[in-house]
Structure 1
Amino acid sequence: MKIAIGNDHVAVGLKNIIKEHLEERGYEVVDFGTNSTERFDYPISGYKVGCAVAAGECDLGVLICGTGVGISLAANAVEGVRAVVCSEPYSAKLSREHNNTNIVAFGARVVGSELAKMIVDEWLDAKFEGGRHQRRIDMIAEIKETQHLEAAEA
């Protein structure tokens, strides 16, 4: 399985720890982030990881910025992305089981490296349950489609 990873300047250290952790677990990791602590705009990495996941070039994605919020918003702007920000493992697990998230994000200023590893592990080990959850994901997709159609008609 191939996992895209992205980060901003705040999260270089945590990105490298998570990247090594993923590789130790046997995943191929494609790095779309920065390795510099010089100011770097998180939307660049969020967009690149979002595009790689949405296009099927990578199976899943991991994003890290100061809080995880901004970089996840950038990824969610890409059609086909369902990115979630998590600061603890339980929400990460349920986001995969119920929402079929394809990108997880967290903040380097919010979680430490061991908690980040637990978040990633729970998220990766969880499986989408389908059923009533698929119906809800379809409803969200329909909302997006309706919004696109309304915008095109305006």
Structure 2
Amino acid sequence: MIAETVCSAVSAAGLGIAAITAYRKRFLRATRIAAYSLVPLGLVMTGVVEWLADTAFSPVAWAGFGVLGAAWFLFMTTRAVERRRGITGKERKAGEASRTEAIAPAASAPSLGRTARPAARPAAAPRATESGKSGADDFSDIEAILKKHGI
């Protein structure tokens, strides 16, 4: 009962401020203030305020919020443990059985064994004079990548 009275008083005060603002010829601001001041009145009329007041002073409702919080905590804890452990043994075996082998597994594998710096090419041997094998290898890698993606 007190919450409804307070909300009604806030709405009445807001509408009064909106009227004063409109009198000062600031109609857009007055309309916005009126809209904000009608929200508490609408909440009272729909019964939301009564429901919130009953919930806020109900020990059963607070216990329910505690149970929901505990459930959320347990859910998040299990998710964190799953991510930390990775995939379990059963899931790994099932994944390996259903996985298909890539057409060119080396084409998309990172080159971990190589050094970060590319090998220096001698100045006397430009790329145009190299053997055709190097160019064919480049195209075979490209073909393998295209086949892998179904193109």
Which band: TM-score by shorter chain?
under 0.3
TM-score, with length taken from structure 1:
0.24
**Which structure has more RCO (C-alpha within 8 Å, separation ≥ 6)?**
1
Larger radius of gyration: 2
Q: Which is richer in strand?
A: 1
With normalisation by structure 2, the TM-score equals 0.24
